[in-house]
Amino acid sequence: MKRLGELSGGSRNIYIHSQPLRSKLISLFGGVEEVVEVDTHKVIDAPRNVVFELLMDPHVLKETMPGLKTMSEKDSGIYSVEMELGIPGIKGQYHGELSIQNVVPPNSYHLSLEGEGSNGPFFMSLDVRLTSSNDAQTDLHYKGKGGFSDQSNSLGQKVLSGAGNLLISQFFGAISRRARRRL
């Protein structure tokens, strides 16, 4: 994957794959003190094309993303979103933009989420890849980074890793249940 930009913050780096997103993050954050990384996978008992279709369906996204209250399409693959999270440390209301880019059906896409909320400006950037070793299962691999820019929110930064993993796990778990019902 080509790295188009880099923000440095302390001893960690964040690689941004979209030049407009990089510019916006620099203007919003000036530099991110701490970035949480995720790199994991989930096996879903459904064919890759079924899982991919679910992940591309805005109605399914609205129903399966934890805390997502509203999602309205602004442009192809770009949505305005409002969320309400109840996890201590990042609890609150958030609004922003969710973008699905670099779509290669049924193999991969890039999902980004950025906005503002109770804990200040935030961002998340995930590369999602779907592979399968047989027709009945899909290995859903997701890798990315996220964070809040409000450096005074140390509790949010400390729990962000656990909270982020919990939200992502809940989302892909809901997708897995949906895929099984579709078969």
Q: Taking Cα atoms as reference points, which of 36, 113, 14 lies closest to residue 4?
A: 14
Cα dihedral value 121, 69, 88, 163, nearest 10:
-80
Beta strands in the chain (DSSP E): 5-9, 12-16, 36-44, 68-75, 78-85, 92-104, 108-117, 122-134, 137-148
* Average pLDDT over all residues of the chain: 80
Give yes or no for residue 132 having a pLDDT over 70.
Answer: yes
What predicted TM-score, i.e. pTM, was given to this entire model?
A: 0.77
CATH number of 35-182: 3.30.530.20
Report pLDDT for 165. 78
Q: What residues contact 118, with CB distance under 8 A and at least 6 apart? A: 90, 91, 92, 93, 94
Report pLDDT for 9. 38
Banded pLDDT at 103 (limits 50, 70, 90): very high
Domain boundaries, the chain: 35-182
Q: What does the alpha-carbon distance between residue 101 and residue 20 come to, in Å, rounded to a whole number?
A: 13
- DSSP class of residue 158? H
